[in-house]
Structure formats: C-alpha cells, structure tokens
C-alpha cells in the first residue's frame, strides 16, 4: 500500500511505455517488502529540466533516465561521476540531502557484471572487439578500459564516430572498419555487438566469425530478440555466448540500492519476471 512514507523513484523517458524498469524494480520492491514505488514517467524532451528539478520538490529519491534523455540529463545534473562524463550520458540520478542531483552511468557496471556472472570472462583475458560506436558502445568501452582490458578493437561503419568515442573514453582503443573485422577478431577474448543489427526489425549482423578463437566470449547488448543471430552463430561454433538481458538487470541494481537502501540480487526469478512482462 502506498502511504506518505512510501519512497518514490521512477524512469523518465519519451516514450516510456516500453520500459521494463518498472517491472524490474517492482519485483525487487515486492521481494524485499520495501515501502517504495517505481513509476514510469513520460516526459517530453523539452520538459526534461523541469521534470528533473521537480524530483526533489516532490520528494523523489531519484530516477533512471532513458532514451532520449541520457545525454541532456548529464548537462542538467549538479554533479556527475567521471565515467558518465566520458560516456557523455547519465542513466541514474540520486537526489542528495541538499536537494541537488547526482548523476552517474550504471550501464558500465551492468555490462561488466553480466559478463562476469554469466561467463568465465575476465577483462585481463585479452583483446576485446566492440562492434558499433553509438551511445551504448561508449558505456561498454568505458567498462572494458576501466576493468583493465589490455586492448579494445572498436569496429564501426562511420570511422569518425568511432574515433570520437575512442578519444572521449581514453585508454587502449584502436579503431577499425568492418573491412578489417577479421584481423580484429584474431586472438580476441571477447566480441561485443552494440550495433542495432540483429535487433527485431533490423537486418542481421552479417560478419564472418572464422578468425575468432573458440574460447572467446560473445555477447550482444540487444535483448529483443534474446537469442540474436550472432549468439546462435557463436554457440554453433562452440563459443560461450551471453545475451543482453542480464546487462539491463545488472544496470538497475546500483540505482535501487541508492534509492531504497537495499542491495538487490539479480537471479533467475528476476529474469523470468522481466521476460514474462
Ligand atoms: P545506441 O545508442 O543504442 O548505441 P546509436 O547511437 O544509434 O544507438 O548507434 C547505433 C550503432 O549501430 C552505430 O554504431 C551505427 O553505426 P554508425 O556509427 O556508422 O551509424 C551502427 N549501425 C546501425 N545500423 C548499421 C548498419 N546497417 N551497418 C553498420 N552499422 C550500423
């Protein structure tokens, strides 16, 4: 039951109806018996600043921000962490005691934790290949570099975008075109797809995996469909494969802990609840 003491949080997006975050946080709130609520908040782009400034006014603990607000949220927050600055996007906000807004990016941690939980991958295993250089890619790049990955090979259709991402994130990132993907895959310990290829309604990602060692972990941050053609292909040739849903689940945990005061567990029950929604 909602009362005057109920802790408030939510996800701000436009549109927001597709977001799985309310189900995810709602599941944890019920599991831990926390007096809290997590709402979908549909906010038009030109109203984002008013909406974020209203969070402390209305007693919210904080919020997630999603498409298309992540970049603007970075500008609006009073304070942001360094990784979020390099990535250029904030996805989680906490209202501090003085009513200021602190923003950070939990996609990095979500990406890394998903891989570490679902496979034997360690950042130090060897070079990583990242396909795509959009917003999601930047969080993956920061996660890899900050975890100590010795070399990241960033493959993108538009070279300038990849070069800009490499500069913003910093560290051992080398930019390649799709024509060089075979040399990129050679000796790699990890392959990550961050492009929209393979997503429902998009063309499949059509790359030759021949040069990729069979021990390399393959992951797709796309989770609709859960089993992308890339993951199917990887499993067929014997590579360990990790789907993208776990990244969504793991990126939610730090926000939940900050707002509701409980470190939540990511497990099969949570995954099933989100899949069923
Ligand atoms: P997100 O924020 O989810 O990462 P995005 O910023 O739109 O989404 O990035 C999409 C990525 O998919 C980009 O790297 C894009 O390549 P470009 O930088 O060249 O645009 C990549 N992408 C999408 N469709 C593609 C296609 N048909 N071929 C190759 N790359 C594609």
| Same-domain status, 124 and 82 | no
Measured CA distances, 143 to 105, 146, 247 (Å): 10, 5, 12
Model confidence pLDDT, tens digit, residues 128-143? 999 999 999 999 999 9
Query: Quick one: pLDDT at residue 147?
Result: 97
> Tokens representing 260?
């509701």
Reported pTM: 0.96
Going by alpha carbons, the residue nearest to atom 28 of ligand 1 is 157
pLDDT band at 170 (very low <50, low <70, confident <90, very high): very high
133 CA: nearest ligand 1 atom: 14
96 and 141 fall within a common domain: no
**42: enclosing H helix or E strand:** strand 36-42
Closest CA to ligand 1's atom 8? 134
One domain for residues 64 and 83: yes
Examine the pLDDT at 1 and tell me if it is beyond 90. Answer: no
274 CA from centroid of ligand 1 (Å):
26
Mutate to test the pocket of ligand 1, among 157, 206, 221 (most ligand atoms within 8 A of CB): 157
Q: Is 206's pLDDT higher than 90? A: no
Residue 150 lies in a domain: yes
CA of residue 8 relative to chain centroid, distance: 23
Write out pLDDT tens, residues 80-105: 999 999 999 999 999 999 999 999 99
Mean confidence (pLDDT) of the chain: 97
The residue range of the domain holding 17 is: 7-106+248-276
Q: Is residue 189 part of a domain?
A: yes
pLDDT at 48: 98
Distance 100 CA to ligand 1 centre (A): 34
> Can you tell me the mean pLDDT for 181-194?
98
Pairing of strands 92-95, 101-104: antiparallel
Q: Are residues 162 and 188 in the same domain?
A: yes
* Domain-embedded: residue 82: yes
Provide mean pLDDT across the span 21-37.
Answer: 98
Overall average pLDDT of the 253-265 stretch: 98
Active site residue 70: yes
- The helix (run of H) or strand (run of E) holding residue 40 is strand 36-42
Taking every pair of Cα atoms in the chain, the longest distance, rounded to a whole number of angstroms, is: 60
Residue 16 lies in a domain: yes
Of residues 235, 238, 234, 240, the one with CA closest to residue 217: 240
Does residue 54 lie in a domain region? yes
233 with 178, same domain: the answer is yes
Mean pLDDT across the stretch 201-205? 91
Distance CA 252, CA 259 (A): 11
Number of domains in the chain: 2
Distance 196 CA to ligand 1 centre (A): 6
Residue 242 scores a pLDDT above 90: yes
Cβ neighbourhood burial of 3 (10 Å; 0-12, 13-18, 19+)? exposed
Confidence of residue 219 (pLDDT cuts 50, 70, 90): very high
Q: How many CB atoms lie within 10 A of CB 64?
A: 30
Domain CATH code at residue 228: 3.40.50.720
Question: Could you write out the DSSP letters of every residue in 136-147?
Answer: HHHHHHHHHHHT
Residues 221-236 pLDDT 10s: 999 899 999 999 999 9
Catalytic residue among 5, 70, 85, 236: 70
Residue 209 shares a structural domain with residue 126? yes
Q: Residues 200, 260: one domain?
A: no
- Return the CA Rg of the chain: 19
Beta strand ranges found along 71-183 (DSSP E): 79-80, 92-95, 101-104, 128-131, 152-155, 173-176
On whether residue 1 sits in a domain, the answer given is: no
| Nearest atom within ligand 1 for CA of residue 157 | 19
pLDDT confidence tier of residue 246, bands split at 50, 70 and 90: very high
164 shares a domain with 143: yes
Same domain? 232 vs 138: yes
Q: Does the pLDDT of residue 12 top 90, yes or no?
A: yes
Cα 194 to averaged position of ligand 1 atoms, centre (Å): 8
Specify the ligand 1 atom closest to the Cα of 67: 2
Q: What is the pLDDT of residue 104?
A: 98
135 and 220 in a single domain? The answer is: yes
Q: If you average pLDDT over residues 214-227, what whole number do you get?
A: 95
Residue 53 lies in a domain: yes
pLDDT at 192: 98
CATH of the domain at 80: 3.40.50.10860
Is 206 domain-assigned? yes
Helix (H, G, I), strand (E, B) or coil at 31: helix
CA 132 to ligand 1: nearest atom:
14
Pocket around ligand 1: residues whose beta carbon is below 6 Å from it?
Answer: 132-137, 156-158, 161, 194-197, 203
Judge whether 39 and 8 are in contact, CB under 8 Å: yes
Please indicate, yes or no, whether residues 160 and 79 belong to a single structural domain of this protein: no
CA distance 70 to 84: 10
Q: Are residues 183 and 134 in the same domain?
A: yes
């Amino acid at each position: 039951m909602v009362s005057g003491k109920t802790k408030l949080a939510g996800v701000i997006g436009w549109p927001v109806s597709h977001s799985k975050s309310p189900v995810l946080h709602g599941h944890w709130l019920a599991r831990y018996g926390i007096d809290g609520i997590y709402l979908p908040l549909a906010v038009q782009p030109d109203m984002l600043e008013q909406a974020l400034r209203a969070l402390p006014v209305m007693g919210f603990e904080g919020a997630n921000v999603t498409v298309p607000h992540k970049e603007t949220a970075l500008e609006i927050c009073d304070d942001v962490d360094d990784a979020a600055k390099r990535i250029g996007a904030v996805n989680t906000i906490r209202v501090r005691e003085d009513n200021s807004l602190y923003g950070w990016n939990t996609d990095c941690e979500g990406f890394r934790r998903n891989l570490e939980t679902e496979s034997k991958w360690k950042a130090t295993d060897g070079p990583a290949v990242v396909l795509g250089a959009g917003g999601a890619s930047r969080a993956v790049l920061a996660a890899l570099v900050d975890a100590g990955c010795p070399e990241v090979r960033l493959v993108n259709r538009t070279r300038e975008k990849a070069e800009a991402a490499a500069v913003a994130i910093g560290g051992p990132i080398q930019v390649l075109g799709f024509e060089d993907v075979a040399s990129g895959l050679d000796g790699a310990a990890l392959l990550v797809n961050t492009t929209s290829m393979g997503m429902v309604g998009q063309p499949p990602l059509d790359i030759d995996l021949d040069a990729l060692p069979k021990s390399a972990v393959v992951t797709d941050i796309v989770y609709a469909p859960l089993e992308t053609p890339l993951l199917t292909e990887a499993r067929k040739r014997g590579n360990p494969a990790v789907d993208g849903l776990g990244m969504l689940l793991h990126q939610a945990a730090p926000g939940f802990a900050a707002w509701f005061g409980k470190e939540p567990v990511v497990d099969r029950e949570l995954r099933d609840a989100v899949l069923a929604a």
